[in-house]
C-alpha cells in the first residue's frame, strides 16, 4: 500500500518541496494554513461543491464510446467528458477551488500562467464571477497559436501579459508569473493551474481536480459493477491525470497510463516528455523530472499541444512513476492529429490537442486488449481552441 503523500513539508518521496525565493516562503506558509483550514471547513466544502455543480456544470458524464470501441475491436472504452465543463476543460475545477480560497484569504488580485489558454480562460472566468482583478501571463508563441483563448480572456475582463523571454511558452509564462508574485505577494494570489510548483500547490490542485476521479469511479461502478482496468490521461504538468488517477491510486488492479507529448518524436529532441526523456531536477519550486541539458539548464520543448509544451511535470507523478504505480507512454504530434480526426469521425466529439494524446495512446492499446477489458480516457478538454493549429497542420487555411 502506498503511503499518504505529501509529507508535512510537501515532499512526495524525494520529489516536491519548496524551492523558491525567501520572499515567497511566508506566502506559501500562509497559503498552506489557509488551505488546511478551508478543507476542514464544511462551509468551504459545501460552497466548492455547489460551484462545481451550479457553475461548472458537474457532474460530467462518463460516456460509453460505443463506436470507438467497435472500431478498435478490443477493450470497452469510456470517455470522462471534462470537455463538457464550463469553459471547455477540466481546468475550471481547480480555479473554482482556488478562487474561493483566495477570497477567504482576502486577496484582491489574481494572477495565473497559461499555455493553451485553458487555465487562463478558467482563471479569468472565475475572477469575473467573483469580481476580482485578474492578470494572465502567456508566452508570445502561445498567444499566436491560441488567439481565440486570448480574446476570450480579454472579453472576460482579464489583462493578458505577453511574455517575450526564453522560449515564449508555458515555462516562461510561469517564470514571469513568479516574478510578478514575488513583487506583489502581499495582496496577490497566484493561481497555479497544474499539479506543479512549490508545496502546497501540487497537493491542493490534485485535491481540487480529484473530483474527476471520484465521479468517474462512482459512475463506472454504477455502469459496470466493478472498477476499470485502465485509466488513460495526457500529462503535461499533470493536473487532469492526477485528478483522474488519485481516487484510484490505492486500487492496485486499476492500471494507470500517463501519455506524454512526443512532439516530432522522442529521438528528435523536439518533445515535451519530461518523465520519459528528462532527469530529476528542480524547476518552478519543486523537485521532479525535468527536461534539461548536460549543464542543468532547462531545455526548450516542443508539442503541438500548447498545454503539454512544458519541460516539467508534477512531483507526485514522478513519485508514482518511480513506484511503478503509473506507467508512461507518449504520442507524437501527428498521432494526436490522427486521434482528433478519428474521434471526431466515429464519435462526433472533437477533443483538445492535449486530450487527443490520450486518445492516441488508447488507439494503440485497446486493440491489444480482450473485449472484457475496460478503459477510461480522460477527455480533459474540447478542441474548438485548436482548430487553427489543426488546420495549419493539415494544410487547410481557415
Partner 1 sequence: MSCIERKLAELQKRGEAALIPFVTAGDPNLPTTLKILRALEKGGADCIELGIPFSDPTADGPTIQRSSERALKNGLSLPRIFQLVRQFRRTSEVPIVLFGYFNPIFHYGLENFCRAAARAGADGILCVDLPPEESAELKRWTDAEGLDLIFLLSPTSGPDRVQLVAGKGRGFIYYVSVTGVTGARQALDVQLRSQVARVRRATSLPVGVGFGISTPKQAAWIAGFADAAVVGSALVERIEKAKGGAEKARCAGAFVSELKRAMKQVAKKS
Q: Residue 180 Cβ, how far from partner 1 at the closest point, in Å?
A: 9
Q: Which residues contact 64 (CB under 8 A, 6 or more apart)?
A: 76, 77, 78, 223
Specify the residue, 294 or 324, whose C-beta has the smaller distance to partner 1.
294
> What is the spatial distance between Cα 94 and Cα 86, in angstroms, rounded to a whole number?
12
Q: Is residue 388 packed enough to be buried (19+ CB in 10 Å), middle (13-18) or exposed (0-12)?
A: middle
Query: Is residue 14 part of the contact set for partner 1 (CB under 8 A)?
Result: no
Question: First vs last Cα of the chain: how many Å apart?
Answer: 52
> What is the spatial distance between Cα 327 and Cα 398, in angstroms, rounded to a whole number?
38
Query: Is residue 9 part of the contact set for partner 1 (CB under 8 A)?
Result: yes
DSSP structural state of residue 238: -
Q: Is residue 128 packed enough to be buried (19+ CB in 10 Å), middle (13-18) or exposed (0-12)?
A: middle
Instruction: State the binding string over 160-189 for partner 1 (x if CB under 8 A, else -).
Output: -----xx----xx--x--xx--xxxxx---
Specify the residue, 238 or 285, whose C-beta has the smaller distance to partner 1.
285
Of 131, 297, 372, 397, the one binding partner 1 by CB under 8 A: 297
- Residue 162: count other Cβ atoms within 10 Å of its Cβ: 16
* CB 256 within 8 Å of CB 228: no
Is residue 91 among the annotated active site residues? yes
Query: Is residue 282 part of the contact set for partner 1 (CB under 8 A)?
Result: yes
Specify the residue, 37 or 183, whose C-beta has the smaller distance to partner 1.
183
Return the bridge partners of 159, or none: 135
SS3 content of the chain, % helix, strand, coil (to 5): 50, 20, 30
Specify the residue, 2 or 21, whose C-beta has the smaller distance to partner 1.
21
- Residue 61: count other Cβ atoms within 10 Å of its Cβ: 13
The SS3 assignment for 370 reads coil
Q: What are the start-end ranges of the H helices in 41-75?
A: 42-54, 66-72
Piece of 121-129, 148-156, 263-271, 278-286 that binds partner 1 (CB under 8 A): 278-286
Query: Is residue 279 part of the contact set for partner 1 (CB under 8 A)?
Result: yes
Q: Is residue 64 packed enough to be buried (19+ CB in 10 Å), middle (13-18) or exposed (0-12)?
A: middle
Specify the residue, 282 or 387, whose C-beta has the smaller distance to partner 1.
282
Is residue 222 among the annotated active site residues? no
Instruction: State the binding string over 19-38 for partner 1 (x if CB under 8 A, else -).
Output: xxxxxxxxx-----------
Interactions with partner 1, residue window 127-166 (CB under 8 A) = 165-166
The active-site residue, picked from 82, 113, 260, 347, is 113
Query: Is residue 7 part of the contact set for partner 1 (CB under 8 A)?
Result: no
The active-site residue, picked from 32, 51, 76, 91, is 91
Query: Is residue 313 part of the contact set for partner 1 (CB under 8 A)?
Result: no
Query: Is residue 298 part of the contact set for partner 1 (CB under 8 A)?
Result: yes
Q: Residue 171 Cβ, how far from partner 1 at the closest point, in Å?
A: 7
The catalytic residue positions are 91, 113, 380
What is the contact surface with partner 1 in residues (CB under 8 A)? Answer: 9, 17-27, 165-166, 171-172, 175, 178-179, 182-186, 279, 281-285, 290, 292, 295-298
Amino acid at each position: 500500500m502506498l503511503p499518504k503523500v505529501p509529507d508535512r513539508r510537501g515532499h512526495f518521496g524525494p520529489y516536491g518541496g519548496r524551492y523558491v525565493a525567501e520572499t515567497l516562503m511566508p506566502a506559501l506558509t500562509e497559503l498552506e494554513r489557509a488551505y488546511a483550514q478551508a478543507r476542514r471547513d464544511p462551509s468551504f466544502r459545501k460552497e466548492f461543491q455547489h460551484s462545481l455543480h451550479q457553475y461548472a456544470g458537474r457532474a460530467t458524464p462518463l460516456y460509453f464510446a460505443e463506436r470507438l470501441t467497435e472500431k478498435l475491436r478490443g477493450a470497452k472504452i469510456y470517455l470522462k467528458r471534462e470537455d463538457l465543463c464550463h469553459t471547455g476543460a477540466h481546468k475550471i475545477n481547480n480555479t473554482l477551488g482556488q478562487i474561493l480560497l483566495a477570497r477567504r484569504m482576502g486577496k484582491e488580485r489574481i494572477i495565473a500562467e497559461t499555455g493553451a489558454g485553458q487555465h487562463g480562460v478558467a482563471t479569468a472566468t472565475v475572477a469575473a464571477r467573483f469580481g476580482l482583478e485578474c492578470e494572465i501571463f502567456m508566452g508570445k508563441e502561445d498567444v499566436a497559436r491560441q488567439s481565440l483563448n486570448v480574446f476570450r480572456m480579454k472579453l472576460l475582463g482579464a489583462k493578458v501579459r505577453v511574455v517575450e523571454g526564453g522560449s515564449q511558452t508555458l515555462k516562461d509564462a510561469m517564470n514571469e508569473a513568479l516574478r510578478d508574485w514575488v513583487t506583489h505577494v502581499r495582496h496577490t494570489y497566484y493561481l497555479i493551474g497544474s499539479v506543479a510548483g512549490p508545496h502546497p500547490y501540487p497537493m491542493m490542485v490534485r485535491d481540487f481536480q480529484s473530483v474527476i476521479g471520484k465521479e468517474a469511479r462512482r459512475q463506472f461502478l454504477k455502469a459496470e459493477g466493478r472498477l476499470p482496468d485502465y485509466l488513460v490521461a495526457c500529462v503535461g504538468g499533470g493536473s487532469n491525470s492526477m485528478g483522474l488517477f488519485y481516487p484510484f491510486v490505492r486500487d492496485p488492479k486499476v492500471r494507470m497510463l500517463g501519455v506524454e507529448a512526443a512532439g516530432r518524436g522522442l529521438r528528435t529532441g523536439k518533445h515535451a516528455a519530461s518523465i520519459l526523456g528528462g532527469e530529476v531536477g528542480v524547476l518552478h519550486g519543486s523537485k521532479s523530472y525535468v527536461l534539461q541539458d548536460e549543464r542543468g539548464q532547462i531545455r526548450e520543448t516542443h508539442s503541438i499541444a500548447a498545454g503539454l509544451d512544458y519541460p516539467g511535470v508534477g512531483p507526485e507523478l514522478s513519485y508514482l512513476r518511480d513506484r511503478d504505480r503509473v506507467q508512461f507512454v507518449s504520442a507524437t504530434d501527428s498521432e494526436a492529429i490522427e486521434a482528433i480526426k478519428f474521434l471526431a469521425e466515429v464519435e462526433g466529439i472533437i477533443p483538445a490537442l492535449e486530450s487527443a494524446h490520450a486518445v492516441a495512446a488508447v488507439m494503440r492499446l485497446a486493440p491489444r486488449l480482450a473485449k472484457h477489458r475496460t478503459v477510461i480516457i480522460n477527455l480533459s478538454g474540447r478542441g474548438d481552441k485548436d482548430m487553427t493549429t489543426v488546420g495549419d497542420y493539415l494544410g487547410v487555411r481557415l
